[in-house]
Structure 1
Amino acid sequence: MPLRKLPGLLRHPLRALVEAGNEANGEIVRLGVGSVGPYLVTSPEHLETVLHNPESYVREGLLWNGVRRAVGEAILVTEGPVWRSSRDVLRPLFTSARVNAMTDRMAEAIQDAVDALEEPARDGTVVDAGAELARIVCQATTRVLFGDKISVADAVRMVDAFGVIATEMIPRIVAPWAPQWLPLPGDRAFADAVATIDDIVLPVIRAARRNPDGGDDIISALCAPRRVDGEEVTEKQIRDDVAAMVSTSTETTIAVLSWLWPVLAAHREVADQLYAEIDQVVAGAPVRRAHLPELRYTRMVLDELLRLWPAGWFIPRMAVGDQVLGGTRIGAGSTILVSPYVTQRMAAYWSRPDDFDPGRFDPAGPKPEPHYSYFPFGGGPHRCLGQYLFAVEAPLVIATLLNRFRPELVGPVDFTPRMGASLRPATEAKLVLRRVRQAAS
């Protein structure tokens, strides 16, 4: 495809990219964006080639430079021996079997966190949905993944810091030509957020290395002695991986569930069916692992939230050497734009792509075809480690909250996304929680 100018890219970038994808209808198109000229790749066939060949399409440039400024050479961004070492340590902690085994502990932590909402619900006080989601998710993850080595308060501070980072890296993404010494808007806030993460994480790592406890949490695992290319793993590498794991174990759940509140307010039929299922399956009892297989509609709602607003909406790659993809010649160093947000909203792969319809994911119906028309957790060797965690944690959070309360959105429904490393609504939801039953014991 020839170079395509996108006059609306700066005003409405997500809309412009979806329009470009629909117009190209799966063909590779080069976008006229400054001097970068990235290639937009939307076809599932081409996406599979890019994502399953990390030696030819690497995590460099654009988004990755900003992420590296925050998490260094963490598993989220690095390649080669360092990546393999971190992956080998962390992957066993995120398998479906392990996540399932700790589901009830996670459920108890979520219930304890939701208990704190009883008072504002009783008083009719407006609550900040984003702040409460962050607190609930952080309580669950710190207890089961980090062995309480990071406090809930510090985990929330880190989530807030990552939120600043996700937003303030945008100026450098849209101006990749700018040298690091040239100040850009957001640089100071970005640096302060990174310093906050260091202030929290480094003392925890140093204590764990001085006094190893043999725990099976993420920090204990990363701090255990190991070598990479014959060299002892450094404190900096451990710091980078710990910071990345705090981010990846919290951000997806918080970001995706932040869209639930406007959806429930705008789609009464979805809300009614979701409430009915939770009332029938959970029926006021404490939510536990045994309930999850029966929460089928809840899972369908989550899958549709992931389709329309994937947290990792933008996962670019850089071509190593000259490549040929789908008959298109791509020069060495060129940027490949891979976006679940775009492909998952394309009319070529989805009927009524802009409608919120959980029925698309009815387990009795057909699965999305082709495979890479739906890939909210990426794909290939770098597929998100936290996918199984999300599959357990998110329905636990929804079921525990809606088993107790009915949220009422304060103010208008707003589906405008706020761009960053992840997607959240531009307007943070404010809720009044109407209590429907007492806390279960």
Structure 2
Amino acid sequence: MSTEVVAPAPEARTVPFYRTLTRYARDPVRAFEEAGKQANGELVRLNMGPFKPYLVTHPDHVQHVLRINWSNYVREGMFWDPLKPLLGDGILSDGTGWQESRKILQPLFTAKYVDSLTERMAEILTEQIQETIRPGERFNVVTAVSQIVHPTIVRLFFGDKISRDDIAQLVPAYDTAVTSKAIRLVLPFVPGKVPLPGDKAFERSVKTINEVAYARISEIRSRANDDRDVVSFVCRARNHEIGEIGAKKIRDDIVAMHGASTETSATALTWVWVALDAYPDVAARVYEEIDRVVGGDPISPAHLPELRYLRMFINELLRLYPAGWLLPRMAVKDDVIGGVKIKAGSTVMISSYLTHRLPEFWDRPLVFDPERFAPENEERRNRYAYFPFGGGPHQCLGQHLFMMEALLLVGGILSRFRPVVHTSVPVTPRLASSLRPNQNFEMTLVPVERA
């Protein structure tokens, strides 16, 4: 009687990432791009000295990690551990903390609930655009987009529970928190107790965020109310959890939701102006549609179904510039992906930024072409060739909210102005927790002249 011998899964090929990183020391994101090209969809290991994570880019392999065997790949280790003081143990964690928070927050992000907020969001965005933009004057795009997005989401979801003074503290604090830990993305083997540049700034930003959050939580918990804002909603949902533990869980829910719905939106919408400047033919089609659909009127929910090309433009923007560009996970148990053995305790790095550039799945992948997202083209695409909001059980709750916000903000600005971007060098991505521009570039908005 013969027994079939099953050969063990082979080890992954190693890519010399540090050699590439040395070549692009001033542009680490470019080093990741080169690693993606060398992998070309194959599951490989990145040689980062004592740290050798697996790079996962093929859509089938991404699907395995994010959906098929998702429970084996947890949000721990590289990227997650340094940000733990900011992210907490709620919706951006794993285990029971994540399950509890998702159950509480999910009703706030259903398409039906978000649609019910559309009218109010349009009103707030119009007000914020008028307050922030000075026609004909140069302004910092990164700052201006943040100054529009943050107050809009806060006023929409948090009501008057977070004041303008709170927002003035929170915006720079979130900004610092997501950029100050960038160096640990390329030095993940350095223990957390070993200080690196940016650590102190991160600690100060988290302290500011906590002071604002805990003060508001204390106020709301001290009195009964049936307000519909998010802070009150979460406090009521967790009213059985008292004391410091209960306050910490509420804090984690609120901070994660605030950060996820503002930081990623502001980052993604900053790239709108880069793309419009770089692709004038695409910009012309965007302008024509907005002029035809919205005209000189204030943008409203009634306009959104007709802004089809703008929606395609936003989808293509998220393909080339996904805010959550790097999604590391840690393997709990040994596994096999695409015939390659993954060792327990190892880090796997998923990058929508790299998957969205694979020539096997995207024709002319570096060309900005919204037509990729015409309805007839989307049906032919591998589900995990495009995942700007992640996938599986951990898929971002806020994707419907983001698209509504993007259409209203971009349509609201371009119905009144045309952008003129001022840069001396090309705007490219820089290394950070979210995909941010490498410079604080400026822009002027010129009023549209209508007959």
1:436 aligns with 2:451: no
1:55 pairs, out of 71, 76, 88, with 71
Aligned to 2:374: 362
Contact 1:147 1:215 in 2 (8 A): no
SS state at 2:124 partner: helix
Cα-to-partner distance string for 1:228-268 (whole Å, 9 max, x where unaligned): 99999521121122111111111222111111112222211
Aligned to 1:268: 280
Residues 32-181 of structure 1 mapped to structure 2, 5 A cutoff:
32-52=47-67, 53-76=69-92, 78-117=93-132, 120-121=134-135, 124-181=136-193
**In structure 2, distance between residues paired with 1:164 and 1:227:** 32
Residue 372 of structure 2 aligns with an amino acid whose one-letter code is: R
Aligned to 1:2: 13
SS state at 1:318 partner: strand
Residue 96 of structure 2 aligns with an amino acid whose one-letter code is: P
SS state at 2:446 partner: strand
1:323 aligns with 2:335: yes
1:213 pairs, out of 225, 234, 257, with 225
Residue 168 of structure 1 aligns with an amino acid whose one-letter code is: S
CA drift of 1:227 comes to 7.7
CA drift of 1:117 comes to 4.5
Aligned to 2:350: 338
Aligned to 1:303: 315
Change (3 A) 1:229 1:29: farther
Aligned to 1:16: 31
Contact 1:407 1:432 in 2 (8 A): yes
Change (3 A) 1:80 1:187: same
- TM-score normalised per structure 2: 0.91
CA drift of 1:153 comes to 4.5
SS state at 2:225 partner: coil
**In structure 2, distance between residues paired with 1:224 and 1:109:** 26
Residue 14 of structure 2 aligns with an amino acid whose one-letter code is: L
Gapped runs of 5+ residues in structure 2? 1-11
Change (3 A) 1:117 1:437: farther
Cα-to-partner distance string for 1:378-398 (whole Å, 9 max, x where unaligned): 001110111111010011000
Change (3 A) 1:225 1:374: closer
Aligned to 2:4: none
**In structure 2, distance between residues paired with 1:179 and 1:313:** 24
**In structure 2, distance between residues paired with 1:180 and 1:326:** 33
- TM-score normalised per structure 1: 0.93
**In structure 2, distance between residues paired with 1:332 and 1:389:** 36
SS state at 1:428 partner: coil
Change (3 A) 1:358 1:283: same
Residues 143-292 of structure 1 mapped to structure 2, 5 A cutoff:
143-226=155-238, 234-292=246-304
Residue 72 of structure 1 aligns with an amino acid whose one-letter code is: G
Cα-to-partner distance string for 1:257-300 (whole Å, 9 max, x where unaligned): 11111222221111111111111001111211111110011111
SS state at 2:71 partner: coil
Change (3 A) 1:436 1:153: farther
- State the percentage of identical aligned residues: 44
Q: Which aligned runs of 4 or more in structure 1 are off by greater than 4 angstroms?
A: 227-233
Residue 78 of structure 2 aligns with an amino acid whose one-letter code is: L
Change (3 A) 1:241 1:261: same
1:424 pairs, out of 433, 436, 440, with 436
Aligned to 1:399: 411
Cα-to-partner distance string for 1:132-175 (whole Å, 9 max, x where unaligned): 21121122211221123112442353232122111111223333
Change (3 A) 1:359 1:187: same
Range 275-284 or range 212-221, more displaced: 212-221
Residue 98 of structure 1 aligns with an amino acid whose one-letter code is: Y
Cα-to-partner distance string for 1:63-113 (whole Å, 9 max, x where unaligned): 10122121221311x222221111111000011111111101000000011
**In structure 1, distance between residues paired with 2:116 and 2:337:** 42
Cα-to-partner distance string for 1:10-30 (whole Å, 9 max, x where unaligned): 524333333333333322101
Q: Across the two proteins, how many residue pairs are aligned to each other?
A: 434
SS state at 2:330 partner: strand
CA drift of 1:366 comes to 4.0
Cα-to-partner distance string for 1:396-421 (whole Å, 9 max, x where unaligned): 00011111111111233623112111
SS state at 2:327 partner: coil
Range 210-219 or range 56-65, more displaced: 210-219
**In structure 2, distance between residues paired with 1:41 and 1:229:** 39
**In structure 1, distance between residues paired with 2:125 and 2:316:** 23
Change (3 A) 1:367 1:233: farther
Change (3 A) 1:229 1:155: closer
Aligned to 2:384: 372
Contact 1:317 1:335 in 2 (8 A): yes
**In structure 1, distance between residues paired with 2:430 and 2:323:** 11
Residue 365 of structure 1 aligns with an amino acid whose one-letter code is: N
SS state at 1:311 partner: coil
**In structure 2, distance between residues paired with 1:47 and 1:249:** 24
**In structure 1, distance between residues paired with 2:312 and 2:353:** 18
Contact 1:409 1:430 in 2 (8 A): yes
Gapped runs of 5+ residues in structure 1? none
